Structure 1
Amino acid sequence: MKRSTVLAALASLCATPALWPEMAHAAAPGKPLRVVASFSILGDMVQQVAGPLAEVHTLVGPGGDAHVFEPRPADAQRLASADLVVINGLHLEGWIDRLIQASGFKGRVVVASQGITPRLLDGHPDPHAWQSLRWAATYVRNIQAALKTARPAQSTQLDRQAEAYLKQLQALDQRTRAQLAAIPAAQRRAVTTHDAFGYFAAEYGVTWLAPQGWTTAEDVSAKDVARVVRELKAQHVRALFLESAGDPRLMQQIAREAGVHIGGELYADTLSPAGGPADSYLKLFEYNVRTIVQALQASARP
């Protein structure tokens, strides 16, 4: 079904039974908050901070692509009965405003990236700020504040859970810096499908190239491919990475033409399904760093 058709139909769904048992927006004391998060990485962050105090539903689940997501009738129903909606912002979810309006949701919308200074790509904010663990801590603080406002009686518990999570992020950030600093700067060059690792590049000193811009919705032309191949050769890029949610054929073509090693698969915009190598945000980041470091080290060997 076309996106316009789906969105036009959503407004009529507010009178249908909700997917959560109670319809009221004000969460009853003692009952878990009903939180809708826009995509899987954000949903995991919310769950880590909220713990048992919230039931978190993710609109774009593991393996999905928030850039090209098409809302379904069930998504409108979820929003209609939610207590809180958490989004990334920075124009990642171009569909969210229409979905909220169609659902009739009147509660609070939390923008997790609030307070972040975005990098700009062709005049557009880069929405992938979670690729920096420093900015991820800002996400967590915003989520923490929103949950405490919704559940003031549980503020102490929420603070304890948030602080424990923030310590994990900080420790991972320190390990990441140390691992990448051990690789000479001239060797820290790589390419991936779309420009999703700019914050990672700025934070950890890795040069990234990509044939696509900040969104996977962009088409890639033969000119774009030729440009990337030229840049790979000129800059002596060490490794090329596939993306878990993308079609590998484009990057395989670029790797062949540029003579660049394929270093593995990265998770850019989504978690893996449960039980996979990146089924939480922390595991995603650790997996990506390990894959990047191994590929850059291997490509540097004679």
Structure 2
Amino acid sequence: MIVHRLFSLLGLCGLLSVAPVHAQARTLRAVASFTVLADVVTHVGGTHVTVTSLVPPDGDPHEFEPSPDDARQLRQADIVFMSGEGLESWFGRLAHAASYHGQPVIVSSAIQAYTPPGAQQAETDPHVWNSVPNVVIWTNTIRDALIAADPEDADSFRASASAYVTQLQALDQDIRSRISAIPADRRRVLTSHDAFGYYGRAYGVTFMAPQGLSTETEASAGDVATLIRQIHQTGITTYFMENATDPRLVQQVARATGAQPGGELYAEALSPPGGPAPDYITMMRHNTDLMVAAMRPR
């Protein structure tokens, strides 16, 4: 009986000595600047990464105002992801407030930037994710950054990234197929601000907007008048609002042109869970569904 109890105690001690190894398995704390990027990091990181988005769902990444809690999240992060191209103009203030001296991963650095016709050279479009092939580049950049931060889980990151790229490629082909079925002279969309340049370049759609690349800029009366004339000339009949922007300006243009509302696009922020765009792939499908319905000949 004594020998039996001794072996039982030894076995229990063995289990206790093994348990902490599993409890201490490495999980990276990642911070992403906004929800679209956070979703892609989550898909690549899988169970080995917890991801926090600084800008919340339905939040505007141009006009975001960081809070003390955001500074705390940044201080505690193992790895930080930003899109770049001038999107996160507030990050420098946040980094200073958080005494953050790390080097964020800029996921758009390998993407060929798009400058809208007539814009100054410095005015590159930061909305790179609205072209699906650009998010494939994001995915590979995120994969490599996570492997560098956590080499032990490299195989898992590679597998997750590969599976996600397969989904993205299928999404890209589906969008191309659906847009190509629309006559070229009807591929025109009116929306709140100039956030869909990469979508337009990738899929052959012309976007018109009263506001520029950033929601921080204001459209002049002359810009609005010019846009109204263009809409009358091109025959656009539908306008779209965006979930993260003030709708009043595009509604003003719509009243002057007779355009009717076509729904709400998600240009730079996901919806909360349970909404129509809780993840990137669903967001792109939702936007395409609305635009195709508006452009389709009646």
Deviation at 1:106, TM superposition (A): 3.5
**1:3-56 CA deviation, whole Å, 9 max, x = no partner?**
xxxxxxxxxxxxxxxxxxxxxxxxx97231010100000000100100111111
Percent identity (aligned): 44
Deviation at 1:287, TM superposition (A): 0.5
- Determine the structure 2 residue equivalent to 1:102: 97
Mapping of residues 40-55 of structure 1, within 5 Å: 40-55=35-50
Q: Is the 8 A contact 1:193 1:243 kept in 2?
A: yes
Q: 1:273 to 1:57 in 2, by over 3 A?
A: same
Deviation at 1:252, TM superposition (A): 1.9
Between 1:86-95 and 1:216-225, the stretch displaced more is 216-225
Q: 1:185 to 1:35 in 2, by over 3 A?
A: same
Between 1:28-37 and 1:219-228, the stretch displaced more is 28-37
Give the partner amino acid of 2:111.
I
Deviation at 1:114, TM superposition (A): 1.4
- Determine the structure 1 residue equivalent to 2:70: 75
Matched, 1:149 2:148: yes
Q: Is the 8 A contact 2:27 2:48 kept in 1?
A: yes
Q: Is the 8 A contact 2:237 2:258 kept in 1?
A: no
Query: TM-score, normalised on structure 1?
Result: 0.87
Deviation at 1:107, TM superposition (A): 3.4
Give 3-state SS (helix, strand or coil) of 1:70's partner.
Answer: coil
Give 3-state SS (helix, strand or coil) of 2:33's partner.
Answer: strand
Deviation at 1:280, TM superposition (A): 0.3
Deviation at 1:238, TM superposition (A): 4.3
Alignment partners' CA distance in 2, 1:29 and 1:103: 27
Mapping of residues 266-285 of structure 1, within 5 Å: 266-285=265-284
Alignment partners' CA distance in 1, 2:212 and 2:219: 9
Matched, 1:60 2:55: yes
Alignment partners' CA distance in 1, 2:206 and 2:162: 32
Mapping of residues 1-302 of structure 1, within 5 Å: 30-121=25-116, 122=119, 123=121, 124-297=123-296, 300-301=297-298
Between 1:190-199 and 1:260-269, the stretch displaced more is 260-269
Alignment partners' CA distance in 1, 2:199 and 2:272: 23
Alignment partners' CA distance in 1, 2:175 and 2:130: 12
Give the partner amino acid of 2:87.
L
Alignment partners' CA distance in 2, 1:183 and 1:64: 32
**1:84-113 CA deviation, whole Å, 9 max, x = no partner?**
010010000001123223312233410010
Give the partner amino acid of 1:262.
P
Alignment partners' CA distance in 2, 1:224 and 1:116: 29
Alignment partners' CA distance in 2, 1:111 and 1:29: 29
Q: Is the 8 A contact 1:264 1:295 kept in 2?
A: no
Structure 2 unaligned spans of 5+: 1-22
Larger gyration radius, structure 1 or structure 2: 2
Structure 1 unaligned spans of 5+: 1-27
Deviation at 1:125, TM superposition (A): 1.3
Deviation at 1:249, TM superposition (A): 2.4
**1:234-279 CA deviation, whole Å, 9 max, x = no partner?**
1222431111112222222211211223221100110001110100
Alignment partners' CA distance in 2, 1:295 and 1:274: 26
**1:159-212 CA deviation, whole Å, 9 max, x = no partner?**
010011000000000000000000000011111111000000000000111111
Q: CA RMSD in A?
A: 1.4
Alignment partners' CA distance in 1, 2:150 and 2:26: 10
Alignment partners' CA distance in 2, 1:43 and 1:29: 24
Q: Is the 8 A contact 1:60 1:66 kept in 2?
A: yes
Alignment partners' CA distance in 2, 1:276 and 1:261: 23
Alignment partners' CA distance in 2, 1:205 and 1:238: 19
Query: TM-score, normalised on structure 2?
Result: 0.88
